[in-house]
Amino acid sequence: MAEHQKRFRLSRRLLLGAAVAGGAVLWGGTTMARLARGPSGPKNAGRIADVDGIALPLKPLENAPAFDPALPWSAEGGDINDASGLSRTPVYGVVEVGEEDHIARALAFARDNALKVSLAAVRHSMGGHAFDDNALVLDLRKFNKVTVDSAARTMTVQPGARWHDIQNLLHPRFAVKSMQSTDIFSVGGSLSVNAHGMDHQAGSVAGSIRSMRVMLADGSVITCSPSENTELFRHVVGGYGLFGVVLEATLDIVDNAVYRTSREIIKSDDFPKFFAEVLEPNRGIGLFYGHLSTAPGNFLEDMIVYRYDKVAEQPPADQPEIGEPEGVGLKRVIMNLAKQGSLFQELKWFTEKTLEPKFESCTVARTAAMAQGEACLVTRNNPMHDSVPYLFNDLVDETDILHEYFIPRAAYNPFIAEAREILRNQDLPVLNASVRIVHKEDLALTYAPEPAYSLVLYINQPTDADGNAKMRALTRALIDVTIRHGGRFFLPYQLHYTARELLASYPELPAFLAAKRRYDPTELFSSTFYRAIKALSGVA
């Protein structure tokens, strides 16, 4: 009997152990599957309802006009949101623009009915920049025609065209001169924020613009460029869609050069010297970015320097199509695990340092470009053709937010030291940190009144009130240290700044807003962002 009871207890323990082990395996598998899963739809977590204590929502229209049946409405009423998932806003309606006449008729309809107009495409800005309460939204994504002039080495593009599609069209002969470091954005969005990216020599997209045709609030069309109607040009580029609708832009294109890829790990403190002695004088380095460690053991201390040295002006004639990112599920799991604590942050940094180089895709045959031996060769289009699908997930109670801070080059090291302490002493997971090169920009609302480095951060937060409060506090702390070092913060992101911080960072803002009223006296073009900066600047 005793022996029977002993065997029974043992069997129960084995059964319990097996159940626990099986449950752990099942939980682990379920968790990994959830972390690897792509988005089932856009995130729509609500709305951050104020900027520096000023309420952002407006009352609904009392007597909304009837919808013009001649316009191509894709939505009559309803809500709209942006990539943050935290800007859900009720709009009057959305017009799906397919041709220039749609824009002209939509603006006329808005003028006749006292409606505001907002301009939207893929909506990766994060503070209501592409829509407003009760606004008529122009969805420009299908207004995306691209034509290439090989002899002039230009392309003429409509604002809804995405860089991803443009690269596929240009490849293999040509490549984009200037764009963001990822290709998910629209040309119109890039123009509106004056985006910059991996080409540290080309600088921002403003430097690649030959000319633009812009429809103003009254329906007139004006051509502007760095040498024609320059004041309008300086306000449309980096003007956040507040001065008119870009109908088309003619941009420089360049050869799809062949690069030898390399990477090395340096100390962040050594980066200014590295830039001055290696990057800046070497015109053969076509692309660059610096990726800072977010692992607790050397947080913002080590940097992987990715560089692309030119070895040929053009790729071989048989160059294949541009490939799409590989290993998306695994990369998404690693990124999402990094939100769970220091161990997984260390794992992410380990994979970036040691595993990624082993899986690098070398798209140009080594024998085809100057006999580079064992070098990894790619064309310019390859590293710039990254839609970062692994950054998008199906985790509905959280979101990932971009920040960017522009620092005068002489202030880089003391700024990084202070930013490091701020970021270490808060709870939100820092998923990525990178460094870019920025040139002086002569625009009305410039983020770089002098040559600068930029620190780009990608930070995770819960979408609840506590997560929003933590992100607001962190943003303000980082803006304050940026201002102390003579820098500026980038405006396409969440509206977490104060009036003092906005005006200290952008003292040109009152003049910018005055110009807005000159070009658009009735303030036809509007957005939540526009109302926010107007309120913070004290403009009625």
- Residue 2 has a pLDDT of 52
pLDDT in tens, the chain (540 residues): 555 554 444 455 554 444 444 444 444 567 888 899 999 999 999 999 999 999 999 999 999 999 999 999 999 999 999 999 999 999 999 999 999 999 999 999 999 999 999 999 999 999 999 999 999 999 999 999 999 999 999 999 999 999 999 999 999 999 999 999 899 999 999 999 999 999 999 999 999 999 999 999 999 999 999 999 999 999 999 999 999 999 999 999 999 999 999 999 999 999 999 999 999 999 999 999 999 999 999 999 999 999 999 999 999 988 999 988 888 999 999 999 999 999 999 999 999 998 888 777 898 976 544 444 568 999 999 999 989 999 999 999 999 999 999 999 999 999 999 999 999 999 999 999 999 999 999 999 999 999 999 999 999 999 999 999 999 999 999 999 999 999 999 999 999 999 999 999 999 999 999 999 999 999 999 999 999 999 999 875
> Is beta strand 452-462 parallel, antiparallel or unpaired with respect to 398-408?
antiparallel
Establish how many alpha carbons lie within 13 A of residue 364's alpha carbon, considering only the half-sphere containing its beta carbon.
32
Residue with tokens 């109607």: 229
- The three-point CA angle 258-260-261 to 5° equals 120
pTM: 0.92
Q: What tokens appear for 290 in the block? A: 């610096």
What is the pLDDT, as a whole number, of residue 8? 44
Which pLDDT does position 241 carry in this prediction? Answer: 98
152, 141 in Cβ contact below 8 A?
A: no
Cis, peptide link before residue 172, omega less than 30° from 0:
yes
Closest CA to 484 of 403, 421, 404, 414: 414
Is 502 in a helix, a strand, or coil?
helix
Q: How many residues does the chain have?
A: 540
Buried b (16+ CB within 10 A) or exposed e, 238-277: bbbbbbbbbbbbbbbbbbbbbbbbeeeeeebeebeebbee
pLDDT of residue 318: 87
In angstroms, the CA 450 to CA 276 distance is 16
- Spatial separation of the C-alpha atoms in residues 258 and 319, rounded to whole Å: 11
Phi and psi at 229, nearest 5°, equal 45, 55
Q: 467: Cβ–Cβ under 8 A, 6 or more apart, which residues?
A: 398, 428, 461
Q: Which residues pair with 139 in a beta bridge?
A: 96, 120
Q: How far apart are CA 351 and CA 432, in angstroms?
A: 13
Predicted local confidence at residue 12, as pLDDT: 55
- Give burial (CB, 10 Å; 0-12/13-18/19+) of 11: exposed
The DSSP secondary-structure symbol of 310 reads: E
Can you tell me the distance from the alpha carbon of 536 to that of 448, in angstroms, rounded to the nearest whole number?
A: 21
What's the rounded Cα separation, in Å, for the pair 517 and 539?
11
Residues 325 and 442: their CA atoms lie apart, in Å, by 35
